[in-house]
Amino acid sequence: MRARLTTLLCAVILSLSTATMARAAELKIGLSQFPSTLNPQIDSMLAKSYVLAMTQRPITAYDQDWNLICMLCVELPTLENGQAKLETLPDGRQGIAVTYRLQPDATWGDGTPVTSADMVFTWEAGLHPKSGFTNFETFRRILAIDVIDDKTFTLHNDRVTFDYNSLQLDLLPAHVERPIFETDPAAYRNRTAYDRDPTNPALAFGPYRIVEVVSGSRIVLEPNSTWSGPAPAFDRITVQVIENTAALEANLLSGAIDMIAGELGLTIDQALAFEKRQGGRYTFIYKPGLIYEHLDLNLDNPILADRRVRRALVYALDREALNNTLFGGKQPVARSSVSPLDWIYDPNVPTYPFAPDRADALLKEAGWIPGSDGIRQNAAGERLTIELMTTAGNRTRELVAQVLQSQWRELGIDARIRNEPARVFFGETVSKRKFTGAAMFAWLSSPENVPRTTLYSDQIPTAENNWAGQNYTGFKNAEMDSLIDAIEIELDRDKRKALWSRLQRLYAEELPVIPLYWRAEAYVLPKWLKGVRPTGHQGTTTLWVEEWQAEAH
Amino acid sequence: MIRYITQRLAESLIVLFVMSFVIYALIGLMPGDPVDLMINANPRATAEDAARLRALYGLDRPIGERYLAWLGAALQGDLGYSRLHSRPVLEVLWPRLGNTAALMGISFILAIALALPFGIVAALRPRTTTDTSINLIAFAGISIPPFWLAILLIILFAVVLGWLPAGGMPPSNAGFGVSATYLVLPVATLTIVTVGGIVRFIRAAMIEALRQDYVRTAWAKGLGERQVVLGHVLRNAMIPVVTILALNFGALFSGALITETMFGYLGMGKTIYDAILGNDFNLALVGLLLATATTLLANLAADLCYTWLDPRITYR
């Protein structure tokens, strides 16, 4: 009798749970960008990463808690577990040999196992000067690959850096792509099967595979039969591209799409307004990430070369009020270029709260006294005027620029707004350091991203170096240079954390850049969709699409 | 006549050749290049990566040299690859040209079919309640911003009533009926914003023609209203209208950008716009040349129409 009751109870619980988490027919995702290519190594686009994360997985990735994890590999190689070993290179420098073992069950959709041969081909193609791969540096650092067996290989890297075991690389299926590549490497980028035959099952080993591509409009995915992980919940996922965000909202309301992806969907102000109108119908998630909105200051400008003025500019800004008023408190104030979600973040670094008195004192100390019209002047009669530039047509940035102008005006600082279309702003003004005052834009980074290109003194773009580098402020600081050099090669976490703390402190003291806020992604999800966990870094939510569940509704 | 058409086609080829250089130079002279876009999206890309990619895409060569290389290949039938779509340019453009032809063709025919009777009635009863009402509707159509009208139509027919899809392209296995439903809202939007202008042109041309001596003569001869209006007035009034329609027709092939964007419709306008913004030289160039060719051919067709509308016009 007791056994029967137990069986009955189990049956009821089982039926309840299957009713709660039902297998759903289709999930329709709205996205505002269509990928220009589906080849993982050509061009860098968030839309492409979003789709490909459902069809294949990188060897390593950062998880939702910002820890480096194995996705395609079995165990993260470290010096401690012996899978990574320091070695001396023929030229006497120190390198490192890192051994990865691929998931034994990983199999391309046509039944061919994912093997070391795929790694070798991806590396060889990446090194080829005509392949057109974007991340050449990743491949150049690998001097040689030893294939140990079908699933195990050792990379011999040309240098020892703290991220020696990070291999955020999507493999290419050698059995499909090698013949195409070897026919004509220069034409490979136009002939890759990812674009010429995107529904080929051999291009996927993830939970889904692409079954339809309507260029510019939609990509349809269905479960991949060779996926050995947890079965995905949806029989079909359609990624529908609608570039206009107003139309994106209308499509959501009409049921043409079920959700709007946070990675490429509504801006924060649009999402907040939409939540006010339709909040009860959807789940809204706001996730601050690694998109760092800031003001690059041109340090060649004599006014901005004075550190006291730079500090006064920050003290004069009420960035908390800006966040609360414009962004509903969803986009936290940035203290430095390091995200508070990153383990290297130091909360004890000096901060600049809204302090008009301190700003006033610093400006007076620097010789800037309020003139008859309220704008400060120096002894030579020069006005404290700063040109403030950003991208024209970006409503949020234009609004922020007006708030900054108004707050600085209160302290007698004359900010002249001069906005330009994005391609002029980035293509000429910023990249060739033609802005004279402050340039507002965002940096996209990754966890524990070393700011070599933006802060190292040899990265200042000039005509002589053909405008290479992204140190647009013209910041030159010997200590910063040595910190960047030291961080890159420091393997001890505690020692590295101390170096990062010093770097953040120096950044806060010198202020070559005025930090504004961390941009947040707005996810609009149906109430019945569970398991979507935004990461805040460049890893898209779809890297864990098999964890998404449809609650019965 | 054949000599005239041959001469016009030859002139069109020269215009297309000149335009190809002008468009290529204008796109090439814009700040930034495709590699900037690739590098900005990749925090790990280095300056060396940028230099290598520029050399690979030929962006480190002077613009004249790049144009000549493109022209040489184009004359051999190779119009190049689209950077944004990673496919041959024509493979991207042909389906979109078909989509545009369907969207524009239907809305153009509808607009003319609606504009003709309204324009004629308004011209025949000037400054009456009928004329005022037609003018009011025409001005409303001209004044409504297409993006706002599109959103209104989406909200009404897709969100509130749920009768029609909000946008996008029909599924590949969709039949004619389902496919047609995806065209209704974009066609309605374009028709509404186009029809007002054509009504105004027809009305003005008709009023002008109604004042002519030959019309008075026709009335004096005792001809009925139908014969006078359709046989004499409308035919002559159509000459300036045909000119405007020909210009509109060419512009339509590249100009439905807003409607296409709002409805996620894959047409030429949005494709060309994205290609220009995305520094997709080949796609932008060929797309704009197609739009130019369409305008030139539409104008040639309009010129030939004149001979039918007015027998006094001849081409030698």
Are A137 and B38 inside 8 Å of each other by CB?
Answer: no
Tokens read off for A71:
């996705």
For chain B, say whether A289 makes contact (Cβ under 8 Å). Answer: no
pLDDT band (50, 70, 90) for residue B252: low
Handedness of CA B23, B27, B29, B34 (dihedral sign): negative
How near does any CA of chain A get to the CA of B273, in Å? 13
Are A468 and B31 inside 8 Å of each other by CB?
Answer: no
Residues forming a β-bridge with A107: A113
Contact assessment for residue B190 and residue A284, using Cβ atoms and an 8 Å cutoff: no
A451-461 pLDDT, tens digit per residue, is 998 999 998 99
d(CA A244, CA A389): 25
d(CA B189, CA B187): 5
Task: Give the nearest partner residue to B159 out of A216, A254, A423, using CB atoms.
Answer: A254
Averaged pLDDT for residues B245-270:
78
A550, with CB counted inside 10 A (0-12, 13-18, 19+), is: buried
All residues of chain B having their beta carbon less than 8 Å from the beta carbon of residue A444 are 40-41, 43
Task: Give the nearest partner residue to B38 out of A134, A195, A246, using CB atoms.
Answer: A134
d(CA A24, CA A233): 6
List the 438-467 stretch of A: residues with Cβ below 8 A of B: 443-446, 449, 453, 459, 465-466
How near does any CA of chain A get to the CA of B248, in Å? 25
Residues 6+ apart with CB under 8 A from B128: none
- Residues of chain A with pLDDT > 70, as a percent, come to 95
How near does any CA of chain B get to the CA of A11, in Å? 40
Are A254 and B43 inside 8 Å of each other by CB?
Answer: no
ipTM > 0.85 (yes/no): no
List the 217-236 stretch of A: residues with Cβ below 8 A of B: 217-218
A136-145 pLDDT, tens digit per residue, is 778 989 999 9
d(CA A260, CA A285): 11
Are B42 and A428 inside 8 Å of each other by CB?
Answer: no
The pLDDT of residue A17 is: 43
Residues 6+ apart with CB under 8 A from A284: A271, A275, A522, A523, A524, A525
The pLDDT of residue B200 is: 92
Contact assessment for residue A233 and residue A24, using Cβ atoms and an 8 Å cutoff: yes
What residue in B sits closest to A425 (Cα-Cα)? B31
In degrees to the nearest 10, what's the CA dihedral of A245, A251, A254, A259?
Answer: -90
d(CA B190, CA B178): 20
Averaged pLDDT for residues B134-143:
92
For chain A, which ranges sit under pLDDT 70?
1-24, 553
For chain B, say whether A278 makes contact (Cβ under 8 Å). Answer: no
The pLDDT of residue B214 is: 87
What residue in A sits closest to B157 (Cα-Cα)? A254
Q: Answer yes or no: pTM beyond 0.95.
A: no
Are A423 and B41 inside 8 Å of each other by CB?
Answer: no
Averaged pLDDT for residues B130-137:
93
For chain B, say whether A376 makes contact (Cβ under 8 Å). Answer: no
Contact assessment for residue A226 and residue A112, using Cβ atoms and an 8 Å cutoff: no
Does the structure show a pLDDT above 60 at B312?
yes
User: Mean pLDDT in chain B?
Assistant: 85
d(CA B275, CA A509): 44
Q: How far is CA A426 from CA A173, A288, B28, B31, B111, in A?
A: 36, 24, 16, 8, 42
Task: Give the nearest partner residue to B151 out of A212, A246, A466, using CB atoms.
Answer: A246
Interface test with B, best of A51, A423, A434, A452 (most B CBs within 10 A): A423
d(CA A514, CA A440): 9
Are B261 and A243 inside 8 Å of each other by CB?
Answer: yes
Contact assessment for residue A151 and residue A115, using Cβ atoms and an 8 Å cutoff: yes
How near does any CA of chain B get to the CA of A131, in Å? 9
B18-47 pLDDT, tens digit per residue, is 999 998 888 888 777 777 766 665 656 677
Contact assessment for residue A510 and residue A471, using Cβ atoms and an 8 Å cutoff: no
Helices (H), A83-236: 116-127, 136-140, 174-183, 188-191, 193-196
Tokens read off for A417:
């707004």
The pLDDT of residue B265 is: 87
Are A134 and B86 inside 8 Å of each other by CB?
Answer: no
A60-62/A68-70 β-pairing: antiparallel
For chain B, say whether A468 makes contact (Cβ under 8 Å). Answer: yes
How many C-beta neighbours within 10 Å does residue B157 have? 19
d(CA A436, CA B94): 46
Contact assessment for residue A307 and residue A510, using Cβ atoms and an 8 Å cutoff: yes
For chain B, say whether A136 makes contact (Cβ under 8 Å). Answer: yes
Q: How many CB pairs under 8 A join A and B?
A: 158
The residue ranges of DSSP E strands in chain B, in sequence order, are 81-82, 87-88
Contact assessment for residue A529 and residue A550, using Cβ atoms and an 8 Å cutoff: yes
Q: Residue A30 region, left (φ>0) first, then alpha (ψ -120 to 50), else beta?
A: beta
Are B168 and A218 inside 8 Å of each other by CB?
Answer: yes
What residue in A sits closest to B265 (Cα-Cα)? A217
